[in-house]
Amino acid sequence: MSGTNRMTGADAVLRSLEAEGVDVMFGLPGGAILPLYDAIARGTTVRHVLARHEQGAGHMAEGYARASGRPGVALATSGPGATNLVTPIADAWMDSTPLVCITGQVRSTLIGTDAFQECDITGITMPIVKHSWLVQDVKEIPAIIKAAFHVATTGRSGPVLVDIPRDIQEAELDFSYPDEVDLPGWRPPSKVHPLQIREAARVVALAEKPVLYVGGGTLNGDACEELLQLAEVGRLPVITTLMAKGAFPESHELHFGWPGMHGPKWSNFAMNKCDVLVAIGARFDDRVTGKLAAFAPGATIVHLDIDPAEIGKLRVADVPVVGPLKMAIAELTREVERHRSEGVPAPEAWLQKIVDWREEFPLRYDKSDELKPQTVIEKLQELTARDDVIVTTGVGQHQMWAMQYIVSERPRTFITSGGLGTMGYGIPAAIGAKAARPEATVVCVDGDGCFQMTQQELATAVLENLPIVVVIVNNGYLGMVQQWQDMFFAERRSQVHLTRQVPDYAMLAQAYGALGITVESEDELGPALEEALASGRTAVVDCRVAQSEQCFPMIPAGAAAIDMIEYGESVEAM
Amino acid sequence: MKHTISVQVEDKPGALARISTMFARRGFNIDSLAVGPTERSGVSCITLRVDCEQHSLEQIEKQIHKLVNVLRVTELVPGEAVERELLLLKVAAAADKRADLIASAAALGGRTLDLGADAVVFELTGTPEELDSFQELARPHGIQELIRTGRIGMSRPSTRRTSRRLSAIN
């Protein structure tokens, strides 16, 4: 036990955060959390980043978590402050991002009376948190904060919420921070069953056409080095989901793209034709599998996950392995190595087959007089290839092009909203990533629709000295919705036109004190990106791209992976 | 197929809400639910009756097990567990027509709790099937009010326990 001393609940929250090693928190004050903000004013070692909207604070905390591997912390007041955190909490839930949200609540005596700015935030968030606490006694604060961080970061990571009534922030306690958590019902898997590992290794090593289907759990489980070992020892092809982009170096000869709706044909062919599919921290999401019954038909499924509930949720696992992935992959590697050293051959012919598919069906698009969105991303990649760069994105076409054309070489350098598909994630996530990794260049590849959902956080970036470069792939449309309307609703465009001119993004950036540049042609693109990247300032590069470019290849929702539509093919042709 | 799941939870605010929210959000239906204290202070038992396939049952068990306040999840396997429900039944029966009802209730181990001018209240504890049959017996007389508690159960010490703990996989 650390030494005890008398303090308010609000001070106890800060001393607890400090004890957890938190260096940055993101938030916005309000009535019910005034005591905590007063404690911040009186002094803490934790840097507070003032967001312009609680949703921004939440996504910043997520971006911080994804860039650093440490839990993100977001603060908000009661009522609307707390409900504005609901989207980031849901986002963190879907993408298993460790997030600790602390909300103010009306005084205990007013709870249940429909008091000003009262809302039942623990009730509202119940389906989207790992756990939540409504603090009822000031003496519980240290133990609850300790438990909150423990639950957020152990097992399958995810969001938690601590709701603290104002009077409890003001009440006093003798503070001491516990060394242990007392959670008898929380026992995430800590070991891996050796027999399951042996069976998994046998299946993987003997496979003629294996594929490692790698998901975001690999990053959350800090298992990327182990994954590299496994792939190299077994000579196993790696396909990383959107959430796992960067978990395996993408220039590596064993990396074969990304699965699913907008993954390249070679990746989806490999997934479809494999005889053994090794799902590692991946959850058979519908955007990956397409029609589930036609996904990797006939393949033997080996499924490694820290969360037992993911095993068999959507696809029966022939060989389930539950446990921490770092440990599981390391042990699997040792066993696969044994098989290889005993003469079980590596699947060289299969690797060559996927290489052949890659050469036969490359990603492609046609250039034209108009600036193409793919060109914007390709240029950005070219200019940042040698830098320590973190890319965040919004959600939509630009996100899929970023997946296809950004080459992520290191873990935690591609940060995007996968499961929830939260438009507006990119800018605040970039700010959070910059707070976590100030030495890195942080670029947000954004859409014009996404930009307008969280653009107010440019003020945060400028004033908190967290410079980010926002590259807007501005086609003047809610592009992915437009693409679906064009493809599946007989080109009836319904409420998707935003225009490329309003707002004038460069002028808007300048209004926020950021650098703003408009790009109308390919000639202007390189210099503009170079200027923005070199400026060291928050910059917005408004790239006005072709308005009707569609993102391909594409597996229509509910279709089988092999029925994908390639660039230049019409829907009718399928 | 119907299954009985017994969940031991820490007696903390929101524990029941978290379980019922999980059922609602993942689209599982609860047939009956009973909550009460156990032999351990601070620990409650929630007994759920659900109608689902084996695959869904495994998902339910695993999802419940992930909840922080949940200590143990067990399926009560038919034949290896005793399961009981309590029925309170108000039946319309004038004084001259109630004798055989009272006799049937007594034969099933039930009790007559109240006799009114036009109606009788019975209490019956038993297996759900026993309660069903008494309910059917009473129906022609005119059931005015009926409440059942939802079943509770525990494993039989007399049989070898195969009742599965979740964590089966790990």
Cβ-based interface (< 8 Å): residues of B facing A = 9-10, 13-14, 17-18, 21-22, 24-25, 55, 58-59, 62-63, 65-71, 166-167, 169-170
Query: Residue B160: which pLDDT band, with cuts at 50, 70 and 90?
Result: low
CA distance A130 to chain B (A): 7
Give the span between the Cα atoms of A159 and A101, in whole angstroms.
7
Which of A185, A193, A309 is the closest to B59 by Cβ? A309
Residue B170 has pLDDT above 90, yes or no: no
pLDDT at B159: 79
pLDDT at A448: 98
Give the span between the Cα atoms of B158 and B153, in whole angstroms.
15
Q: How many CA atoms lie within 13 A of A286 on its CB side?
A: 7
pLDDT at A296: 95
- Segment A349-372 mean pLDDT: 96
Q: What distances in angstroms separate CA A310 from CA A285, A428, B26, B48, one per listed residue?
A: 11, 29, 13, 22
Q: Where are the alpha helices (DSSP H) in A369-425?
A: 373-384, 397-405
- Segment A303-309 mean pLDDT: 97
pLDDT at B164: 54
Q: Which residues of A touch B27 (CB under 8 A)?
A: none
| Tens-place pLDDT, residues B89-100 | 999 988 888 898
% of chain A beyond a pLDDT of 70: 98
Q: Tell me A109's DSSP state.
A: G
Q: Which residues of A touch B60 (CB under 8 A)?
A: none
pLDDT at B162: 58
Q: Which residues of B touch A132 (CB under 8 A)?
A: 14
CB-based contact A185 B69, cutoff 8 Å: yes
Q: Which residues of B touch A123 (CB under 8 A)?
A: 17
Where do the domains of chain B lie, and which CATH numbers do they carry?
Answer: 2-76 (3.30.70.260), 82-152 (3.30.70.1150)
pLDDT at A558: 87
User: Nearest residue on chain A to B72, judged by CA atoms?
Assistant: A185
Taking CA B24 as the corner, what is the angle to CA B21 and CA B27, rounded to the nearest 5 degrees? 145
Q: Is A263 on the interface with B (CB under 8 A)?
A: no
Residue A12 has pLDDT above 70, yes or no: yes
Q: Is A395 on the interface with B (CB under 8 A)?
A: no
pLDDT at B13: 87
CB-based contact A322 B66, cutoff 8 Å: no
Q: Which residues of B touch A155 (CB under 8 A)?
A: 66
Which of B18, B25, B169 is the closest to A320 by Cβ? B169
| Tens-place pLDDT, residues A420-477 | 999 999 999 999 999 999 999 999 999 999 999 999 999 999 999 999 999 999 999 9
- The secondary structure element, H or E, covering residue A183 is none
| Tens-place pLDDT, residues B121-151 | 999 999 888 999 999 999 999 999 999 999 9
The helix/strand/coil state of A551 is coil
- Locate the DSSP E strands across chain B: 2-10, 30-37, 43-51, 70-76, 81-92, 111-115, 119-126, 143-148, 152-155
Where do the domains of chain A lie, and which CATH numbers do they carry?
Answer: 5-175 (3.40.50.970), 194-360 (3.40.50.1220), 373-551 (3.40.50.970)
- Per the CB < 8 A criterion, the answer to whether A396 and A417 are in contact is no
Query: Residue B24: which pLDDT band, with cuts at 50, 70 and 90?
Result: confident
CB-based contact B169 A136, cutoff 8 Å: no
- What does the radius of gyration of chain A's CA atoms come to, in whole angstroms? 24
- Segment A335-349 mean pLDDT: 98
Which of B19, B43, B67, B68 should one mutate to test binding to chain A, selecting the residue with the greatest count of A CBs within 10 A? B68
Q: Which residues of B touch A184 (CB under 8 A)?
A: 10, 71
pLDDT at B94: 86
pLDDT at A571: 59
Residue B29 has pLDDT above 90, yes or no: no
Helix, strand, coil percentages in chain A from 3-state DSSP, rounded to 5: 45, 15, 40
ipTM of model:
0.89
pLDDT at A4: 60
pLDDT at B27: 82
